[in-house]
Chain A
Amino acid sequence: MSAIRNTFGRVSGLVPFWVWCLVWLLAAIAFGFIGDEVFSDELYDASITTLGYVMMALGLNIVVGFAGLLDLGYVAFYAIGAFMGGWLMSAQFSDRDIHFLVSDVTEKLPGIHLNFFLVIFLAAAVTAFWGAVLGAPTLRLRGDYLAIVTLAFGEIVPRVFELSESGLFGIGSTNWSNGRQGITPVDKPFAPIPGLDEITRLDITPYFFIALFMVVLVLFLNFRLRDSRLGRAWIAVREDEVAAAAMGVNLVRVKLWAYAIGAAIGGFAGAFLGVYRNTVNVDQFEFGFSVFILAMIIIGGMGNIGGVIAGAITLSLFERFALPELNPLTQSLIDFDITAISFGIFGFFLLAMMILRPEGFIPNRRRKMELHEGEDDETATGPGDESLYAVRG
């Protein structure tokens, strides 16, 4: 296994990094042009959703993989981003009449209709703000308390949206969400250039390229951040908070940036997924989704950008194809619908990965060392001993 990896490492080292990026990008573009003809329409549709999930996983990777803050409520930012898309690109607030850079058809509709390419960045900005707000209370917490607080936020935020059918917390009487029905339809993206001026639901190719463009942006951000001063500070905080603070890392600032940027990417992707699915519905925002994204980065390898992308693609396609493919088999063998228990299977993946290979299939080297720390001298230390993440003040 390690021999293969070494050989692979040597071969991939022959060409510079940017060449690899270019190769992958060209492959993705080629898939965008001919994917729906060579493969099935369903795969093409799934690949667009997958690109959305890739962004989500990359965002969560900043919080969990880089900064080492286990965030179990990532779905909150998906919800906020998607609702930003829903509010600013639909007839939800039909008493308002705001239009900005939209197609002629949309121009005539009531409600708030802003341009998609503006809305995704607005959504990112707003979720970044909320990421910092929801992250702030967790600053004094560590380890599992932090995880539970984020989980609680992940449960609270979608509920607040769901129950804001007439007024928020009983204030006012605006209908923010249509309750469980959700906001639908949502406007299509629009730009006055060929290909993006008349998007229909029948030809989803433009969506693929929009998503790809967004993924490239997020990836660029990820790589630049990882190597930046802030990125190195994140890794320092992840490895040892006390030591990092002693070295002059401002813990509050560094952690809040991790939450804000992670959330911003979640909102960015959330707005896209809301628009692509043409509906913003509270049912999408369940705890299971947070765990789904978390499973992607754990299976791929926390902290490793390439691993996270691979994990996201694998798990997303697994959910969409592998399980339905397996279904006839299990149906005929034991008369049982395997797609019903997809989350149980992800749960099993999480369990098995954490026990057998906690660093993921494509690990980040530093992270791997951290995760295996204390294993050799297990007998000498013991269950209640200080571990890497449990440094207490």
Chain B
Amino acid sequence: MEAASIPQTPTPPQRKLGDVLRDNSLWLIFGLVLVLLAIIDLKEQDNILPLANNIKDGLSVGTIWALIALGYTLVYGIIELINFAHGEVFMIGSFITVSLFVTFGLTEDTALFGLIIGMFAALVIAMLGSGVLNVMIERVAYRPLRGAPKLASLITAIGMSFILQNVGLLWRPTPDSAPDLIKSQVELFTLFGVDVVRSDVFAVAVTIPLLFALLYFVGQTKYGKAMRATAQDPDAARLMGIDVNKTISLTFLLGGLMAGAAGLIYALYNLTIQFNQGFTAGLIAFTAAVMGGIGNLKGAVVGGLLIGFVQQTVESRVDNGSAWAPAVVFAILVLVMVFRPQGLFGEETREG
């Protein structure tokens, strides 16, 4: 009698080596790949410069995926919806950027001061444009279906994505080139034998302040708190006086802002933009978000950088690499979703 009424304190489960390995399996696989690549490089060239170059390129292109992935992860975290049209928001961000460059009359010969002002203005407008577009997408395509089965909103998301892609097609029917404002291939400095060019520095320099601003906003402000509360339990959040609809709109706005910034970086990094860039980019970034554990902001950033590395490695080491890279990334997407839906950091997601 006595014994039964005392709640048994559960003994903490022994963490076996197998559990530790499984919880960190993605990191382990990634580490193994790094070691393997290093060995290959050492064997073929006596140094690991190719690997170092892959990492550098991966980090800089990864910032683009990270920024887009944040949009997926924010939205999924709050309403458990894959915002399929997010890649298209990023594409529209690129388009706005390049159009603004033309409007402002920015060329490679513009004086530095004007260039900085112009690019900053373009960044702000592209971010706002994409953000507002994302909020509108939510209004039109997702809000009417809040109570319906999840698949319904996934299908409207696809519909939305096609509509936007065709808007892009009407805007620029053929691939367009962006002005090389930052003289992207000019070498800035050499670090351990790796040449760092301007576009690498530019990508990182734009991304880092945005990341910190976003983390601060979500983690420290009242609005961020409302977002986290809504993500945890929309009903309880509503009872606590949080305007759930506004909070969801705000989340879409933030995601759109990041996608707009990614669009600008992409335009200046790749120097070509086209209407169907959003589909592949969206899927790659979604892979990054899943890899980092969907709903996890830091995870999305780390995932983006890792996917950038994978992509650059495949592109530089495999025949026909730039055609294979998306297929490899999608294969990773499938593997992670099936075997490790919690992602890198092992936090339980609601889907996992």
Q: Is A98 an interface residue (CB 8 A)?
A: no
Query: A381 contacts which chain B residues (CB < 8 A)?
Result: 147
Contact in complex: B162, A137 (CB < 8 Å): no
Q: Is B347 an interface residue (CB 8 A)?
A: no
Q: Is A149 an interface residue (CB 8 A)?
A: yes
**If A143-B150, A370-B149 touch, does A341 touch B166 (CB 8 Å cutoff)?**
yes
* Minimal Cβ-Cβ distance residue in B for A287: B279
Contact in complex: B156, A156 (CB < 8 Å): no
How many pairs of residues, A versus B, come closer than 8 Å at their CB atoms?
Answer: 169
Contact of B147 among A336, A344, A375 (CB under 8 A): A375
Query: A341 contacts which chain B residues (CB < 8 A)?
Result: 166, 169-170
* Minimal Cβ-Cβ distance residue in B for A348: B163
Chain A residues 161-182 with CB under 8 Å of chain B are 162-163, 170
**Tally of contact residues, A, Cβ under 8 A:** 60
Query: In whole Å, how far is A182's beta carbon from the nearest beta carbon of chain B?
Result: 16
Bound form: Cα–Cα A230–B326 in Å: 37
Provide the main secondary structure of the chain A interface. helix
Contact of A355 among B144, B233, B350 (CB under 8 A): B144
Query: B79 contacts which chain A residues (CB < 8 A)?
Result: 383-384
* Minimal Cβ-Cβ distance residue in B for A138: B338
Q: Is B159 an interface residue (CB 8 A)?
A: yes
**Tally of contact residues, B, Cβ under 8 A:** 55
The segment from B6-14, B55-63, B124-132, B327-335 found at the interface with A is B327-335
Q: Is B40 an interface residue (CB 8 A)?
A: no
**If A140-B338, A347-B159 touch, does A155 touch B150 (CB 8 Å cutoff)?**
no
Contact in complex: B163, A355 (CB < 8 Å): no
Query: B330 contacts which chain A residues (CB < 8 A)?
Result: 152-153, 155-156
B138-170, CB under 8 A of A: which get 1 and which 0? 001100111111111111101111110111011
Query: A317 contacts which chain B residues (CB < 8 A)?
Result: none
Binding site for A on B (CB under 8 A): 79-82, 140-141, 144-156, 158-163, 165-167, 169-170, 173, 233-235, 238, 244, 248, 279, 283, 286, 319-320, 323-324, 326-327, 330-331, 333-334, 337-338, 341, 350-351
Binding site for B on A (CB under 8 A): 70, 72, 137-138, 140-145, 147-149, 151-153, 155-156, 159-160, 162-163, 170, 287-288, 291, 294, 298, 336, 340-341, 343-352, 354-355, 358, 370-371, 373-375, 378, 381-385, 387-390, 392
Known: A378-B146, A390-B149. 8 other contacts (CB 8 A): A155-B326, A343-B162, A351-B140, A370-B149, A375-B148, A382-B146, A382-B234, A390-B80
